[in-house]
Structure 1
Amino acid sequence: MRNDALRTTQRRERRASPIGGWLRAALAIGVGAAGVGSSRAEWVVADEGKPAAVIVTPNHPSAVVRYAAQELVYHLEKATGATLPVITESAAKKTTGGRIYLGDTAAARAAGINVKTLAAEVFTLRTADDALIIAGNDSAGDPLENNTSAGTLFGVYEWLQRDVGVRWLWPGELGTFVPKSDRLAVPAVDATVAPSFIQRRVRPGLTFKNEHPALGFTAKAAAAYAKDQTVFLRRNRLGQSTKMTYGHAFTQWWNNYGTEHPDWFQLVDGKRGPEKPGARFSMCVSNPDLQQQIVDQWVAHGGADRKGRLSFVNAVENDILGQCECDECRAWDGPQPADKDKFYLPNFKVYGARFVSDRYARFALAVQQRAAKHNPNAVVISYAYFNYFQAPTSGVKLNPHILIGLCPSAGWYPRMDDEHAWYKAQWQGWHDTGARLFFRPNYFLDGYCMPFIFAHQFADDFQSTVRNGIIATDFDALTGQWSTQGPNLYLLMRLHTAPTANPDALLAEYYSGFGPAAAEVKAYFDYWERYTMDNRPLINDVFADRVAIRWRTWAKAAHRVFPPDCFAPGEALLAKAAAAAAGDAEARARVTFLQDGLEHAKLSARAAALLTTAEPASTPERGQKALEALLAFRRAHEMEWIGNFNHDAWVEDPSWKLSRETKQEPEYYP
């Protein structure tokens, strides 16, 4: 069940200083250690449904280790039918047979593993005699919390993937694929593994709110979904080894400083500050007093005191175009590139706006130089966004103490080929400045609940960033359409732990979860990926014509992108998959999961055609029966996790003409 290509690891030097770790941008490293006693080629964990080993924890295990043991017992029982006992190291002295040691045990230390010298989230897998040692850097705190260093837990997940063949396809029991084995043995291993990126973040999408709660989950289902998804994300090792702090930094600054320091704010049409009361505003980033105030606030919050540790200075502009027209800001701008509007629609707010990337690059550099006077480990975080997304053109040089989050405000998948190349070139251009980069896109908000598959183009984009200096991720956000967009989401998860792996090898893992129907399920998703990629012009035209937003009002146009006749080929392919899986109950249940997702997409597209706000003829009455059928389906299937129905409702709320009935508590409607 192992994939040798995915187990290949790279030897890398590990440095102790925070800047050394910063420059490392580690890629799933494996470091061989000195020999530790004798180690058999393999030994048995379970045989014919009976345990042949025990799980051993320290005498006083941390919460991370206790949870790691729980996860190991659960998956090994699914694999073998055997329930391995969990005992402390003191009790283990009275037992014989194989042992799996978890955490900072005496056995780990005797094998040369000192977890105190491991960086955050790093773990070691090592076999010695009839033992497997999994030990990592574990901090106090909730094991499911992203801020908790869970090295031992991550080591358990790594071993389950490597040597047991476990695959987490989607949240919940059905999405947990564990190959069955009458006899499970532990092969020799000696590897130390670090996270691929210092932050691996996919925003969970659990806070979508709307004024029509009947469209979404019931409260009970929402809570259960949140729990299962949280477990799923942790199994995919999302988290952070370095706590990065950032976000739109200046949203309250006009209220706090506008009267006394209007010169810190944008100058537009001769006026400083917001163009109208309550409007968004950008900053006058060339102003040295603004730069100093940012640093002074960072110092006041202890940033200068974090000697020997990275200290992040938040210089992320507000959620608006860079608009300042003052002479000093404009003097910082680079030449306006000829292709600056080529891949933006004429009705998009960036189209025609002044290109200001160089001023924001110089702004980040100026803040970093001021902060470095207080703490040489200061790292300034800024965004490349809106009209400062495209790479600088003036030749400005930055340094590794500047971290730029690339947040494209367009460029949704599927892209045309020249558009795709252009977006990758912008990343390359920012990389060439010498700054460090992280990926901060909104792309996974796209697609609504439709079978909208762009897996290979996304993988190509992501792996291009890996080749060009990515050190962290922040994807906004997970919409949870597991049954219709599974390949996209599986690659999103797996590329965080196997960033250089062949995407088709990773997708083969996903399809293997469908057992004898793997080939048919692959054909099904291949159909939808071809459909999505072949309809790139249609998608662009429809969203322009409908004045629909890819991340927020997809349901205005869903029926135009996915008309009724496109579903029949998909249904036929799933029928073949169901027939192939007929003799395997688990595989058949997973095919049914896909069938339910496709039916939900059909019902949603049908309701969109009758309720879209883009059609004057739409009324709540015209779409009433279609909506009732959709909501009845959601109530019947809401505990299956075919999709995050709260996200669907969030998209439908501004997209459809809805009656007040849907404002009722969801338990009572329809």
Structure 2
Amino acid sequence: MIRSTITLLVLSVCCRIGFAQATAFTAVDDGEARSRIVLGNRASKVAKDAALLLQQSIRDVSGVELEILSEEQFTSLETAQRRGFVIGDGALARSLGLDSSALEMEEFRLLSAQDLICFVGRSNARSPAEVWAVRHFTDEVLGIHTLWPGKIGTHIPRTDRIVVPIMEYRYRPLAYRRFRTWPKTPHPEVEQWLEAHQLSTRLYNRDGYKFGHAFTDWWERFSENPETRAYFAEAPDGKVQLRTPAKPEYAKLNVGNPAVRRQIIRDWKASAEQPPLIWNVCPNDSAGYDTSDASCALDTTNYPKPDIWSGKASMTARYVSFWKTLRSEMVAELADPAQKDQFRLTTYAYGAYREPPPPGTLGPGFVIQIVPTYDAYGRAMWEGWRQAGASELLCRPNWWHMGGSAPHLPLRDVFEYIAFIRARGMAGIDMDILLPHWATQGAYYYLLARTIERPDLTLEAILSEYTTAFGPAADEVERYLAYWEAFTKKAAYPFPAGGPVSQNPDGLYETLQRKHGYSLNPLRGSWEATPFLYTKEVLQPAVEILDRAAGKVAPGSIEAERVAFLREGLRLFWYRRELIRLKAPRLRTATETEDDFREAVRRWEQLRDQMQSRFGHVVDQQAIPDRL
């Protein structure tokens, strides 16, 4: 083994709270243990899991297994041997001034003192805070990084010497966070990747906020009754109807009708929880907004009714008016003044009502989940809703629906947007939707997970974590990511935010889609545009970069497997590009037929199966996307 040292200079701490000054210490030296892992005498099951994780991580890095001792066993050692890692509540942690009961839920803390480093956290059934504390150490000091799901996606540096620096770190994850996945129940390796980044497909939700289109069952409940049919939107011809008859869950409400508010209040009061202090009023999806005089009276601009119905007019003013009146009526039903202050309505800023209202017009008592863009418009949207006075703002991006399965990598733009909104009150993120395009978009997934998990890291630090895992090929992988990031900027896919929001009407995507008569909506158009955007001339420089990367890594090494993962992923994308082209008869050459399309599907599926066998469950399963 090549002798090396993992060490890191982090925040130095002179501990002046009643115990000796902290010192860095050597945990492993020359392949031998020089420290122990100590379980606090009040350690929880989570703390025990954290101890096992730390033991495994140090063994993976150094080949050395540290023994796990009780506090009694540890304190019985000679003073010179009392060096190591204290995990969980107990007498040792308390002597250092640490106790999980002093932390907020999901908060964790690392603190050095003497020749010890202590890990404590406030866990619950879903949130293993002590495990997160240990993962921070294995990430920051050992350099273990979980880049993508599966064995080759975890970077584990090797060393025979581990020096533990003086550390102090305290962190509480965002209150509301989730990465939705496709499929909805992902492979366990994907869930493990999420857990390694303090995320899940299941919602972490400390404050109990509820979002989601809130009235999807109303058409079924109320449309047949002549009295309650007036709850629903009128079309420009004055008739109550669905804009999309096959989608009753898209039904829009007549928000100018007071009976709608009364029905919402009846549903609220009938809830099992009495009274619910959080109530979801997110409008249903799609267009079909009400054109009745009652709702139009809430607008501050006199829009043409066809524009209202189709969602081309701003509906923000009417919905803000509706929400404010509704909230005041609901608060009036509460007798307790404290409950009146605590009561929150949750809703979206999305589609035709994404534009922020004037400053101060919303006021407290509202929690807004913004479906944003990540450009200057998205920043203005966030700042506008913040100045409108919402109690809290959450981020609900649809960005992973952009680009299909292409190497779509808006890395700097996304990083800078998240940093911008985090500095302006972001209370959570609900990301839609993590697709299995790890070989082409994995750096993007990793960047966003790390940006949420570690707001202290720079963009360069996160990308360095990713590229370092490729060893001697790191510089080529850095060039590869930069190549596709630059192309992503040129492509300029519109944002899916309740209809397409243009990023650049003169970008390649919009220019080519207009030229070929295809949709500008990226949900479908991202796939349709693939043959036009990703020509051989576009892919060839990327192929050459990865060829050079393959020449720099040792055959059979884990770095070679990682480079192969990217290369095969790009090849799979090209096969996908070809089958999309061949599916459209007008894009075929004069000699190509349906048989060529079927052969393209077979070839794609064969490579997909080979990749799944070789790299694990990080490869797309659908040859033909549902959107096509």
With the shorter chain as reference, the TM-score category is 0.7 to 0.9
Establish whether residue 360 from structure 1 lines up as the match of residue 337 from structure 2: no
Q: Corresponding residue for 1:464? A: 420
CA contact (8 A) 2:288 2:311 kept: no
Higher RCO, Cα 8 Å, sep 6+: 1
Deviation at residue 203 of structure 1 after TM alignment? 0.9
CA contact (8 A) 2:152 2:615 kept: no
Deviation at residue 439 of structure 1 after TM alignment? 1.1
**Aligned residue among 223, 239, 255 for 1:271:** 239
Q: Corresponding residue for 2:382? A: 427
Q: Following the alignment from structure 2 to structure 1, what is the Cα–Cα distance between the partners of residues 269 and 76?
A: 56
**Aligned residue among 6, 26, 41 for 1:44:** 26
Establish whether residue 261 from structure 1 lines up as the match of residue 207 from structure 2: no
CA contact (8 A) 2:42 2:89 kept: no
CA contact (8 A) 1:200 1:472 kept: yes
Establish whether residue 236 from structure 1 lines up as the match of residue 197 from structure 2: yes
Deviation at residue 38 of structure 1 after TM alignment? 1.1
Q: Corresponding residue for 1:446? A: 402
Q: Deviations over 1:154-173 (max 9, x none)?
A: 11122222222222211122
Q: Deviations over 1:435-463 (max 9, x none)?
A: 12111121112222222221122223322
SS of equivalent to 1:124: strand
Q: Following the alignment from structure 1 to structure 2, what is the Cα–Cα distance between the partners of residues 8 and 575?
A: 41
Q: Following the alignment from structure 2 to structure 1, what is the Cα–Cα distance between the partners of residues 124 and 398?
A: 31
Q: Corresponding residue for 1:668? A: none
Q: Following the alignment from structure 1 to structure 2, what is the Cα–Cα distance between the partners of residues 130 and 331?
A: 70
Q: Corresponding residue for 1:71? A: 53
Deviation at residue 644 of structure 1 after TM alignment? 4.5
Q: Which has the larger radius of gyration?
A: 2
Taking structure 2 as the reference length, the TM-score comes to 0.84
Q: Following the alignment from structure 1 to structure 2, what is the Cα–Cα distance between the partners of residues 602 and 543?
A: 19
Corresponding letter in the other structure for 1:476? D
Establish whether residue 605 from structure 1 lines up as the match of residue 577 from structure 2: yes
Q: Corresponding residue for 1:123? A: 108
Q: Following the alignment from structure 1 to structure 2, what is the Cα–Cα distance between the partners of residues 277 and 180?
A: 58
> What aligned pairs does 1:49-448 form with structure 2 within 5 A after superposition?
49-58=31-40, 61-94=43-76, 96-140=81-125, 148-195=126-173, 197-207=174-184, 226-238=187-199, 239-258=204-223, 259=225, 260-268=227-235, 269-272=237-240, 274=242, 276=245, 279=248, 280-301=250-271, 303-304=273-274, 311-321=277-287, 323-335=289-301, 353-373=312-332, 374=334, 375=339, 376-393=341-358, 397-408=361-372, 420-435=375-390, 436-448=392-404
Higher mean alpha-carbon deviation, 567-576 vs 240-249, is at 240-249
Deviation at residue 178 of structure 1 after TM alignment? 2.4
SS of equivalent to 1:184: strand
Q: Following the alignment from structure 1 to structure 2, what is the Cα–Cα distance between the partners of residues 78 and 286?
A: 63
Deviation at residue 349 of structure 1 after TM alignment? 10
Q: Following the alignment from structure 1 to structure 2, what is the Cα–Cα distance between the partners of residues 33 and 288?
A: 62
Q: Following the alignment from structure 1 to structure 2, what is the Cα–Cα distance between the partners of residues 168 and 289?
A: 53
Q: Following the alignment from structure 1 to structure 2, what is the Cα–Cα distance between the partners of residues 489 and 349?
A: 36
Deviation at residue 87 of structure 1 after TM alignment? 4.1
Cα RMSD of the aligned pairs, angstroms, is 3.2
Q: 1:572 to 1:646 in 2, by over 3 A?
A: closer
Q: Corresponding residue for 1:529? A: 485
Q: Following the alignment from structure 1 to structure 2, what is the Cα–Cα distance between the partners of residues 36 and 152?
A: 24
Q: Following the alignment from structure 1 to structure 2, what is the Cα–Cα distance between the partners of residues 292 and 71?
A: 54
Q: 1:329 to 1:647 in 2, by over 3 A?
A: farther
Deviation at residue 63 of structure 1 after TM alignment? 4.1
Corresponding letter in the other structure for 1:232? W
Taking structure 1 as the reference length, the TM-score comes to 0.79
Deviation at residue 267 of structure 1 after TM alignment? 2.6
Corresponding letter in the other structure for 1:230? E
CA contact (8 A) 1:364 1:381 kept: no
Q: 1:400 to 1:53 in 2, by over 3 A?
A: farther
CA contact (8 A) 1:286 1:329 kept: yes
Q: Following the alignment from structure 1 to structure 2, what is the Cα–Cα distance between the partners of residues 426 and 442?
A: 15
Q: Following the alignment from structure 1 to structure 2, what is the Cα–Cα distance between the partners of residues 531 and 41?
A: 48
Q: Deviations over 1:241-263 (max 9, x none)?
A: 33322211111112223325233
Q: 1:204 to 1:654 in 2, by over 3 A?
A: closer
Q: 1:516 to 1:99 in 2, by over 3 A?
A: same
Q: Following the alignment from structure 2 to structure 1, what is the Cα–Cα distance between the partners of residues 585 and 15?
A: 63
CA contact (8 A) 1:33 1:190 kept: no
Establish whether residue 582 from structure 1 lines up as the match of residue 546 from structure 2: no
Q: Following the alignment from structure 2 to structure 1, what is the Cα–Cα distance between the partners of residues 463 and 321?
A: 42
CA contact (8 A) 2:395 2:426 kept: yes
Q: Which runs of 5+ in 2 are unaligned?
A: 1-5, 493-506
Q: Following the alignment from structure 1 to structure 2, what is the Cα–Cα distance between the partners of residues 149 and 478?
A: 21
Q: 1:534 to 1:642 in 2, by over 3 A?
A: farther
Q: Following the alignment from structure 2 to structure 1, what is the Cα–Cα distance between the partners of residues 15 and 181?
A: 37
Q: Following the alignment from structure 2 to structure 1, what is the Cα–Cα distance between the partners of residues 559 and 379?
A: 38
CA contact (8 A) 2:176 2:206 kept: yes
CA contact (8 A) 2:144 2:157 kept: yes
**Aligned residue among 600, 609, 633 for 2:607:** 633
**Aligned residue among 466, 476, 489 for 2:432:** 476
Q: 1:325 to 1:502 in 2, by over 3 A?
A: same
Deviation at residue 646 of structure 1 after TM alignment? 4.5
SS of equivalent to 1:468: coil
Q: 1:352 to 1:287 in 2, by over 3 A?
A: closer
Corresponding letter in the other structure for 2:543? E
Q: Following the alignment from structure 1 to structure 2, what is the Cα–Cα distance between the partners of residues 67 and 542?
A: 53
Corresponding letter in the other structure for 1:623? F
SS of equivalent to 2:162: strand
Q: Corresponding residue for 1:22? A: none
Q: Following the alignment from structure 1 to structure 2, what is the Cα–Cα distance between the partners of residues 34 and 297?
A: 56
Q: 1:299 to 1:135 in 2, by over 3 A?
A: farther
Q: Corresponding residue for 2:503? A: none
SS of equivalent to 2:608: helix
Corresponding letter in the other structure for 1:495? T
Q: Deviations over 1:102-143 (max 9, x none)?
A: 222332233222212311110111122232211111113xxx
Q: 1:351 to 1:524 in 2, by over 3 A?
A: farther
Corresponding letter in the other structure for 1:319? D
Higher mean alpha-carbon deviation, 294-303 vs 46-55, is at 294-303
